Structure 1
Amino acid sequence: MDKVQIRRENLRRWAEKHGTPSKERSYFSQLINGNSSFGEKAARRLESDYGMPALFLDTAGADFGTSPRIKVIARDPDDPNFVEIRKVRLKLSAGISGFGIEVTEEDGNPITFRKEWLTKNGYDADSLIAIRVRGESMEPALYAGDVVVINTADREPKDGQVFAVNYEGEDVVKRMMRDTGEWWLHSDNADQRRYPRKMCRGNECLILGKIVYKQSENI
């Protein structure tokens, strides 16, 4: 099935379980039966308005009983002094500054921080997400399997700092370097022939946020 067919099927399943909202009965029917356009904006609006899980309508075979809601951050119900930053996968498109997320429960428990740590550093919990590092390009600073927290509110490049970047539709973690009047994506790995620097310019290189924390089992 293509994406629109998946949306129609998931909306049909959702309506069967929860009922069709009376104020939008006709609209739901048109969407399900293919008589109305079912684009990105309509899908996200329905998910938000009716409490569906994040990207539920776009996910083939989505489970609306157990999938997380759209909020990435979940506060510890037993202690209000802590927040949990859930680990996610990023869904990117080349040249598009926004991104979708998919919570990855198989990656283990969320990372827990004291609220005072966020306050001290001026972080907004709703702007923090965590991803798992892939590849060897950032060794020895970061290893494959390490988890890093991204502050998506901080997208201003800073010389020598590490950022998550949408590079041609792929999420990469690189050190930003300023040289010859340009910004470059630099890998920490000493094998620069294997991991050459890449220019960060225009829509092919969009900063997602600054790396503010790492969790690693490598010493």
Structure 2
Amino acid sequence: MDEADARGALARLIEREGADYAGLSRLIGRNPAYIQQYIKRGTPRRLAEEDRRALAGYFGVAEEVLGGPAPQPAGRGGLVSVPRLDIRASAGPGATEADEERRGHIAFDPAWLRAIARDPKSLSLIRVEGDSMIPTLSDGDEILVDRGDGGERLRDGIYVLRIDDSLVVKRIALNPAGRSVSIRSDNQAYPSWPDCPLSAVEFVGRVIWVGRRMG
């Protein structure tokens, strides 16, 4: 892909998602003007590999969209195994965390994982318990949690949280006016907690995928 096409693709993604240049620059550890200079002036001429991977993961697109190499089909034995942990994230009153024993693995295409996560090694699958996140998440769903996507990159979305000794899965919304978040259940029958200080919540990781049995 021509680098001008990659800059144009990034600009369209930013406009579509309502993101801002400075925030994305900070996301990848750069100065606030970095992304704007890349798009408007072509400086740097090409994104560094780690920056491109982080931006692709943020927007949920393949690196190829932002000028990366075209993904190669995973050959036999070329899949990435993600551990299924014997712990539960409660979508209800709260589940006590057990020892994180592995109960098998699920294999994913590596190019797909790179498109949605910065580091596949930080991923794990855990089981949802309860109904407070219906209709988004149901009891028994398997969720893919990115443990590398926590406090420093925190943004609106669904996260696994540790509160006291329990794990819960909830939707969070950042308060732009201060260092606080709202913790919400998608099921309106359950309560929400507005304006919780960030210091009171431990963010285990962001939920980036869900799998469930049909029928």
Normalising by the residue count of structure 2, what TM-score does the alignment of the two structures yield? 0.53
Residue identity in the other structure for 1:113 = F
Please name the residue that 1:86 is paired with: 83
Please name the residue that 1:184 is paired with: 182
Residue in structure 2 matching 1:154, options 149, 154, 161: 149
Cα RMSD of the aligned pairs, angstroms, is 2.8
SS in 2 for 1:133: strand
Report the Cα offset of residue 216 of structure 1.
Answer: 1.2
| Structure 1 residues 50-89: aligned runs within 5 Å | 79-89=76-86
- Measured in 2, the distance between the counterparts of 1:185 and 1:218 equals 28
Conservation of the 8 A alpha-carbon contact between 2:88 and 2:126: no
Report the Cα offset of residue 120 of structure 1.
Answer: 2.4
Alpha-carbon spacing, 1:91–1:100, altered in 2? closer, same or farther (3 Å)? farther
Conservation of the 8 A alpha-carbon contact between 1:177 and 1:185: yes
SS in 1 for 2:111: helix
- Measured in 2, the distance between the counterparts of 1:198 and 1:172 equals 16
Conservation of the 8 A alpha-carbon contact between 1:91 and 1:101: no
Conservation of the 8 A alpha-carbon contact between 1:91 and 1:102: no
Count of aligned pairs: 129
Residue in structure 2 matching 1:173, options 169, 173, 196: 169
Residue identity in the other structure for 2:192 = P
Residue identity in the other structure for 1:167 = I
SS in 1 for 2:112: helix
Structure 2: gaps spanning 5 or more residues? 1-74, 90-97
User: Structure 1 vs Structure 2: percent identity of aligned residues?
Assistant: 24
SS in 2 for 1:86: strand
Report the Cα offset of residue 166 of structure 1.
Answer: 0.6
Structure 1: gaps spanning 5 or more residues? 1-77, 93-98
Alpha-carbon spacing, 1:157–1:218, altered in 2? closer, same or farther (3 Å)? farther
Normalising by the residue count of structure 1, what TM-score does the alignment of the two structures yield? 0.52
Residue in structure 1 matching 2:116, options 121, 125, 132: 121
Conservation of the 8 A alpha-carbon contact between 1:91 and 1:100: no
Per-residue CA deviation, residues 123-182 of structure 1 (Å, 9 max, x unaligned), is 3221001100011110000001000010111003212x1111111221111111134632
Please name the residue that 2:136 is paired with: 141
Residue identity in the other structure for 1:82 = L
Please name the residue that 1:12 is paired with: none
Residue identity in the other structure for 1:146 = D
Per-residue CA deviation, residues 34-66 of structure 1 (Å, 9 max, x unaligned), is xxxxxxxxxxxxxxxxxxxxxxxxxxxxxxxxx
Structure 1 moving runs of 4+ over 6 Å: none
Report the Cα offset of residue 119 of structure 1.
Answer: 2.2
